[in-house]
Amino acid sequence: MIPPSGPRRAPTRVRQYTRAIVPSRIPHVAPLLLAMLLLLGFASLLRAQETVAKSHGFSEFGELKYPEGFDHFDYVNPDAPRGGELSYAAQGTFDSFNPFTRQGRAGARSADQYESLLYPSYDEPAAYYGLLAESLEYPESQDWVIFNLRPEARFSDGTPVTAEDVVFSHNILLDQGLQSYAEAVRKRIPKAEALGPHRVKFFFAPDIPRRALITQVGGTPVFSKKWFEADPENRRLDKPRMEPGIGSGPYVLDNYDINRRVVYRRNPDYWGDHVNVNVGRNNFETIRIEYFSDSIAALEAFKAGEFTFRQENNSKSWASAYDFPAIDKGWVKREELEDGNVPSATGFVMNMDRPQFRDIRVREAVQLAYNFEWTNESLQYGLFRQRHSFWQNSPLEAEGVAQGREREVLEALGDDLDPALLEAEPVMAHTSRADRQTDRGNLRRAMKLLDGAGWAVGDDGVRRNARGDTLKIEFLSDDPVMDRIVMPFVDNLRVMGIDASYNRIDNAQFTLRRRERDFDMISSGYSTSLQPSTGLYQQYGTEAAAYSVFNPAGIHGPDIEALIDNIVAARDWEELSANTRALDRVLRAKRFMVPTWYLGKYWVAYWDKYAYPEILPPYALGIEDLWWAEADKAAALVASGALRQ
């Protein structure tokens, strides 16, 4: 079990009873009918006596940290001042304010106007508290859940948020949402029903694991049924539109200039300021997002004060570009803040639908062509660490030879498991020489693997198979920052005889080709958490592999599927962690990604008019909802000429 992290209170237990059928009171009943009635009555009594929990929140394992009626989260400043502007940059373009469209690119923050029944805590894993819902009820079996909505909840047009809106939102996401989401959810959550204006019930399919089903429905965005049904053809969820729609969140769209900026304004009539999960949050009057074609242009605009907060992701910039006058004068602050999240499993992803990657020897050879040590030291100023695991630096990372429950889990996979995984340590990213781009030892190993896979080198130095097909790999990108990182990797692939190329295209093309999985390799990854659950089906599941946008490699297999089933079915921390470590071990052994780097902290720079809580939570930076603007500091920057009014 996860150890307690603060004061806890168990959910309220409500016990209900009904009268069972008593056969002795029914005269002249045949013995068979009598037995059937007895069984039915006993089953009815058991169902009626099942303990039902009523709670202000929900935690996957253990009890909630914050008790019913808590004032606010520990990590907020409840006295944070309201007002001012937060401004930051986005890269690329946008042509829609529908964040759920299957076409085009949605504007920044376009999904944030929609609230959900529950809201996550930033300082405890997989714990959620009531937002639109003031409480929830569920039986021990978790066969269903009922949410009791807050009667005061309102959409931005002033109309109430009702149970009918929640049911509508669930159904429209199944009918018009992403296929990978809809197919996964439809099988697990077949029905939602409004029991009253502010009471909604979700039914869960029988014979499937119950874990994460409550948080799945609790985290679903809630739309206005009235708004969608007023123009159903033009307001479809799967089509782009510039009309933003209405939500119940604290911010509404104020204005925009296509591909240049988006501005959101705090709704003065926002219904939820008094709710405890909102205290100390949503402090800015406006949030402005400026769009740029690339991060270099954005950095120059930040230096000039065109926007005032920047989260840096370019090691070269972080190491060498923050020496401008505003830094020297103390107008701009530069900080490294801790990030307690599991690092995303990022890297150079191979498309497993491409025939050249079907042989694992080819995939391992491609991995060996990447020199992390040289890249980090020569191009990234030694600021990163090598990533090995899909759950790096967490209790879910596979280490050493599998032992105990993890080994039992792997052995249970039988013939679906490569038996070598039972006796070997998990696959680690290879090491390379840091003093040269090309590690000749690794390239020799890689070329032997390619030879063994049937890709021989021709007289022209290019590898071909027995049919004469060239071994080609195109690396696709839309980010100029990746140029200097990827090109040396591509050069090493060419040294090995691979017809490798690097193709940088515009944002819209890249989005389309990634969505349709029309690429050989891209820089991408898989999100991870300390409480993995049903989302794994969209990331690694067999059924969704052909179309899921959350599985860029298209990786799947019976060994993966069985471990996902076990993880979703886990009812305690020991079972969850053992199966996740086993999955980590299996995924790493399939070598479908070249693991690159991770940081484990946030790089932030900001004009000195912002402040944040003394203790930030481990699982969120919270710039948009935990930070605030200080009016006196903002005024001082304007008075000094550092910033314009």
pLDDT tens-digit map of 93-151: 999 999 998 788 899 999 999 999 999 999 998 899 999 999 999 999 999 999 999 99
CB proximity list for 639: less than 8 A, separation 6 or greater:
none
Residues 515 and 541 in one domain: yes
| Span 533-551, average pLDDT | 93
Number of other CB atoms surrounding residue 325 within 10 Å: 10
Whether 238 is covered by a domain: the verdict is: no
Q: Per residue in 184-203, pLDDT tens? A: 889 899 999 999 999 999 99
> What per-residue confidence (pLDDT) applies to 41?
54
> What per-residue confidence (pLDDT) applies to 39?
52
**Three-state DSSP class for 622?**
coil
What CA–CA distance (Å, rounded) separates 277 from 333?
29
Residue 354 burial class via C-beta count within 10 angstroms: exposed 0-12, middle 13-18, buried 19 and up = middle
Phi, psi of 643, rounded to the nearest 5 degrees: -130, 150
User: 4 pLDDT exceeds 80?
Assistant: no
| Closest to 435 (Cα-Cα) out of 488, 374, 369, 372 | 374
Residues 442 and 588 in one domain: yes
Percentage with pLDDT > 90 across the chain? 84
Q: Are 476 and 500 in contact (CB under 8 A)?
A: no
Q: Per residue in 609-639, pLDDT tens? A: 999 999 999 999 999 999 999 999 999 999 9
Residues 478 and 593 in one domain: yes
Whether 394 is covered by a domain: the verdict is: yes
Furthest-apart CA atoms within the chain: distance in Å:
98
Q: Per residue in 317-356, pLDDT tens? A: 999 999 999 999 999 999 999 999 999 999 999 999 999 9
State the amino acid at position 244 in one-letter form: P
Residues 429 and 568 in one domain: yes
Q: Per residue in 367-425, pLDDT tens? A: 999 999 999 999 999 999 999 999 999 999 999 999 999 999 999 999 999 999 999 99
Whether 98 is covered by a domain: the verdict is: no
State the amino acid at position 459 in one-letter form: D
* Residue that is last in its domain, among 51, 69, 92: 51
Q: Per residue in 577-611, pLDDT tens? A: 999 999 999 999 999 999 999 999 999 999 999 99
Residue 293: CATH number of its domain: 3.40.190.10
Q: What are the DSSP calls for 328-397, one per residue? A: HTTSEEEEEEE--SPPPEEEEEE-TTSGGGSSHHHHHHHHHT--HHHIIIIISTT--EE---TTTTSTTS
Whether 11 is covered by a domain: the verdict is: no
Q: How far apart, in Å, are the Cα atoms of 320 and each of 314, 316, 324, 480, 544?
A: 10, 6, 10, 17, 43
What CA–CA distance (Å, rounded) separates 366 from 289?
38
562-595: burial string, b at 16+ Cβ within 10 Å, e else: bbbbbbbebeebeebbbbbbbbbbbbbbbbbbbb
What CA–CA distance (Å, rounded) separates 591 from 421?
13
Residues 458 and 367 in one domain: yes
Q: What is the mean pLDDT of the chain?
A: 91
Whether 107 is covered by a domain: the verdict is: no
Domain span at residue 326? 251-340+600-639
Q: What are the DSSP calls for 194-222, one per residue? A: EEETTEEEEE--TTS--TTHHHHHHTS--
Residues 39 and 151 in one domain: no
Q: Are 168 and 225 in contact (CB under 8 A)?
A: yes
Whether 6 is covered by a domain: the verdict is: no
Query: Would you place residue 2 in the very low, low, confident or very high pLDDT band (cuts 50, 70, 90)?
Result: very low
Residues 611 and 590 in one domain: no
Whether 583 is covered by a domain: the verdict is: yes
Residue 500: CATH number of its domain: 3.10.105.10
What CA–CA distance (Å, rounded) separates 392 from 638?
44
Residues 47 and 62 in one domain: no
Whether 563 is covered by a domain: the verdict is: yes
Residues 265 and 275 in one domain: yes
Q: Which residue has the tokens 């990590």?
A: 75
Q: How many domains does the chain have?
A: 4
What CA–CA distance (Å, rounded) separates 499 from 465?
13
Residues 122 and 208 in one domain: yes
> What per-residue confidence (pLDDT) applies to 152?
98
Residues 590 and 501 in one domain: yes
Residues 387 and 456 in one domain: yes
User: 25 pLDDT exceeds 80?
Assistant: no
| Span 520-527, average pLDDT | 97
* Residue that is last in its domain, among 565, 583, 598: 598
